[in-house]
Amino acid sequence: MLPLCERHGLGFEAFSPLTGGWLTGKYRRGAAPPEGSRMTLRPGPYEHLRTEETFDRLERLEEMGDPAALSLSWLLSDPRVTAIVVGPRRPEQLEPALAAAPLDPALRDELSALFS
């Protein structure tokens, strides 16, 4: 999608950039989803993520730092992304967005490789 937007001079607004909580560290290998989470309320769009490969990558992301802040920082580091829409339900869920900052190119490349 991003190359298409770039080709046509369009901005891109990242909606649900934390993938229903998957990029926050909320979901754990072998554990039931937390009560009230999207995986208990509306799992359909996210069910495909419940794989060993996903958990491997999420665990590696967590080793690198706060998964939510890193994910949002990755988006902020892409000049094709013009806005990020986050929807915290509680004040503490806003903290990763406030901590997000553009990444240096080496870390951005490392994160890109992790999820490519």
The tens digit of pLDDT for each residue in 46-94 reads 999 999 999 999 999 999 999 999 999 999 999 999 999 998 888 998 9
The pLDDT value given to residue 59: 97
Residue 4 lies in a domain: no
Dist. CA 96–CA 73, nearest whole Å? 9
Residue 22 lies in a domain: yes
Residue 27 lies in a domain: yes
Give the SS3 label for residue 83. strand
Q: How many domains does the chain have?
A: 1
Total-model pTM: 0.89
Dist. CA 39–CA 62, nearest whole Å? 20
Tell me the residue range of the domain where 95 lies.
Answer: 9-114
Residue 61 lies in a domain: yes
Bridge partners for 83 per DSSP? 13
The answer on pLDDT for 116 being more than 90 is no
Residue 3 lies in a domain: no
